[in-house]
Amino acid sequence: MGKRGPQPHSARGTKERMGTIPIVKGATTEGIPVVMWDAVPQCDVHYCQIKDTCPYIEEDSLCGVRKEYLDYVYRHFMGSVNAEDKQALFRIGFELIPLFSHLVSLKIANHGRPVTTLTDKGSVQVNPLFREIRETIRSINLNINDLAESFSSDFGKGGEGDDVLGNTGYYDKLFEGEAPKVIRKTRNRV
């Protein structure tokens, strides 16, 4: 069992704490805490809906799909919001990230399921997970709209970086107080 209670956090260890239970992930160089609920469950190969096609299957580790999904969402939003707007950072960590966590869970649960099913009375019914997915997306959009004034003017323009190779220095620069700016390169994947 690990240590309980508050632990000292630095920007350096933030990347390692992504997807874990502790809420405080670290702090920016300005001393603003990075807090969020982004807990990712263990990979459950036996009951996973995407186990046949998942590129991240690794027993006794965190679910790789959820971790990658939330990591991308976190990088996209935290790099686009005013780093001194504590309320916006709080709402991203405790409202927006959990909503995206619900969304990826719903998408995994829905993977490979039929669009329609038959009820006990023989009528056709649309898969109820579709409605839940739409409602979650609607909640995410409302949350983003509420935070709109906290985002930089570049928000929503697709971000920066290389789509294939990524940007390995992203976290380091983010926690040094600046959002990294790299010209976006899209490469042919064939």
CA 94 to chain centre: 12
| Residue 103 pLDDT | 95
* pLDDT for the residue numbered 157: 53
Distance CA 88, CA 151 (A): 9
Q: Give CA–CA dist 119/80, Å, rounded.
A: 46
Name the residue among 133, 66, 131, 57 with its Cα closest to residue 97: 66
Instruction: Give the chain's length.
Output: 190
pLDDT value for 40 = 86
Residue 41's SS3 state is: coil
Structure-token pair, residue 85: 């707007």
Q: Where do the structural domains in the chain lie, given as residue ranges?
A: 11-154
Question: What's the maximum distance between 2 C-alpha atoms anywhere in the chain?
Answer: 61
Please, what are the averages of pLDDT over each run of 10 residues along the chain (190 residues)?
A: 50 62 72 77 86 83 89 82 83 91 94 91 93 96 92 59 51 55 50
Tell how strand 24-27 and strand 33-35 pair up.
antiparallel
Listed in sequence order, the DSSP H helices in the chain are 14-17, 64-78, 86-91, 97-110, 128-146, 170-174
Query: Residues near 56 by Cβ (< 8 Å), separated by ≥ 6?
Result: 43, 63, 64, 65, 67, 68
Per-residue pLDDT at 158 = 46
pLDDT at 190: 45
